[in-house]
Amino acid sequence: MKRFVVEFKETYMDIPVTRECVVSSFDEVMRLYELNNPDIEYWNLILEEDV
């Protein structure tokens, strides 16, 4: 498993948010937070580490 910390901003948000999760791959992070959604202005992977 891996711990990921990601920051992202959706168009309706005033400020970006930071989220943390423990999953097996970054693909799961993408699905979990829907980072491929057109409403996402940007995202940034802050941390990826084995747990």
Task: Give pLDDT tens digits for 25-43.
Answer: 999 999 999 999 999 999 9
Kindly indicate the confidence band of residue 12, based on its pLDDT and cuts at 50, 70 and 90: very high
What proportion of the chain, given as a percentage, has pLDDT over 90?
Answer: 100
Q: What is the pLDDT of residue 9?
A: 98
DSSP the chain: -EEEEEEEEETT-SS-EEEEEEES-HHHHHHHTTTTSTTEEEEEEEEEEE-
Q: What is the pLDDT of residue 25?
A: 97
Kindly indicate the confidence band of residue 5, based on its pLDDT and cuts at 50, 70 and 90: very high
Q: How far is CA 26 from CA 2, 19, 42, in A?
A: 9, 13, 16
